[in-house]
Chain A
Amino acid sequence: MIFRPKYFFGETFSNLKRNFLMFFTAITTVAITLFMVGFFLVIVYDIQGILGSIKSQVEVAVYLKDNITDELRVYLENEIKSWDEISEVKYISKEQALENFKGEYEGSDILKEIQGNPLPASFELRLESPEKVDLVALRFIDKDGNYIEGVDDVIYGQSYVQKLFSIVAIVGTIAFLIIAVLLLATVVLIFNTIRLSIHARRKEIEVMKLVGATNWFVRIPFLFEGFFEGFVGSLISVIFLFILSNYFLIKGERAVVDTMHIKDLAIVGSNNVILYIYLGLVAVGGLIGIISSAFALKRYLEV
């Protein structure tokens, strides 16, 4: 068959004009359904990001006894550094602890009450794998259940950390299911809409076939149309998503972050992943359009 782009594009766009209502329906269906999928993806990605950044901030504070020798301290520090679970060890001396404390409570009456330096020196540990925080804490306890020599106390938010990890897992699973169901609904809706618009033109297809058109000749303008509907529809959904996440979600999150004093929190749109979500939606839209058209056409081509 001779490929004639002028005919195919001309046909696609004159059909666009003449079947405007059908195109409008198809495009809005794609836009609304993909918007829902995209909205969920952004929200889920966002929640995962926030939980992830909280997770990465899981710290273990190891308080040292005041009478610890320098040799023992250095030995402990090197020992901790050699563990796989640890990404960073920071030593905070008694003096620095006091400085930090003063900084945090500047102007407060508490400072006047302090005499000398009651604060202990400590190690602040950041973990490579925050899930293993229990394991790390256990390493500071000897077989009798006491802290090892030189260590006064080990503190990490046991219950809160464990809860956080199970929330991350649950949210991830539920979100995956919802997105899968939404995506399936999207495919079915788009497919039905395109099938209706092809059904409305079955007479045209029949006449084409009876005057000797090959199947591909009939098919190509419909595939173009399907692609166009999917592409434009998904583009519209991405524009709305962009506005929603940039002007509403981010503002909302900034406010939450500011009131909760969480540092280094991942915020929507601050990452390339959102861009990939947008690109993915457009690709999925175009693809669903083409594939739906191809499948919906099948039975009408059998003339």
Chain B
Amino acid sequence: MNMIEFRNVSKVYEDNTAALRNINLTIKKGEFVFLVGPSGSGKTTFIKLLIKEISVTTGNIFIAGRNICNLKVSRIPQLRRNIGYIFQDFKLLPNKTVFENIAFALEVIGKPGYVIKVQVPQVLKLVGLFSKMNSFPHQLSGGEQQRVSIARAFVNRPPILLADEPTGNIDPVTSDGIMKLLSRINLIGTTVAMATHDRSIVNSMRRRVVELEEGEIIRDQKRGVYGV
């Protein structure tokens, strides 16, 4: 089953810079895909289109068979609840504890308190931060903060997880831990798409690699490496 499908998708920004040109791509359920390419090649645009933070200029995007391009604005929250999103800069709220940061994602979608009390500790165990539940983000290392951000993205068990340079602000050793975590999440059936610059991660993981350059796909390789 196709989880994500891009059909003839182009994105031109208001200042006439083309971020994506005529992209055709399918990602199957349970796949793990790296999006690689230099800065400005369209990786972030690719991810932002999927959560409708921005809209396509032409073409169509299907998620689980549904065209999201003609989605009403009022249905966007529903779309985003099915997609976990991990940011390079974590985007944790500094004045909330680890627990609250994750609980927040559940409160926002209307989950009742007793569900939150069960699910948040569960996901914190998964990312190995159960003991830091009551810490504030500034008391954690970069790697730990990114794990909180992953926990927040995954706590609702979305079928799709998107990551935009999740290891961009983290040292290599810690990055390995993050990748192991994403692999585990992928193993239980979650479709993962990750934009990255990190050559060594891509080379060691040996997953599908889609390379973008100036908004076009120049390579789509199963079990690929970063550069040819």
Contact = CB atoms under 8 A, between A and B. Distances in A.
A18 B93 CA distance: 12
Interface in A1-48: 1-2, 4, 7, 18-19
A80 B92 CA distance: 85
17 contacts: A7-B107, A19-B95, A203-B91, A204-B93, A206-B91, A207-B91, A208-B108, A209-B77, A209-B80, A210-B80, A210-B85, A211-B80, A211-B105, A211-B153, A213-B109, A214-B74, A217-B108
A212 interface: yes
A243 interface: no
A303 interface: yes
Nearest to B153: A211
A213 B105 CA distance: 8
B81 interface: yes
Interface of A: 1-2, 4, 7, 18-19, 203-204, 206-214, 217, 303
B152 interface: yes
Interface of B: 51, 53, 74, 77-81, 85, 91, 93, 95, 104-105, 107-110, 152-153
Nearest to A207: B91
B85 A211 contact: yes
A210 B153 CA distance: 10
A303 B53 contact: yes
Contacts of B51: 210
A212 B109 contact: yes
B81 A212 contact: yes
Given A2-B110, A4-B110, A214 B77 contact: yes
Contacts of A18: 95
Given A2-B110, A4-B110, A213 B91 contact: no
Given A1-B110, A203-B93, A206-B91, A211 B152 contact: yes
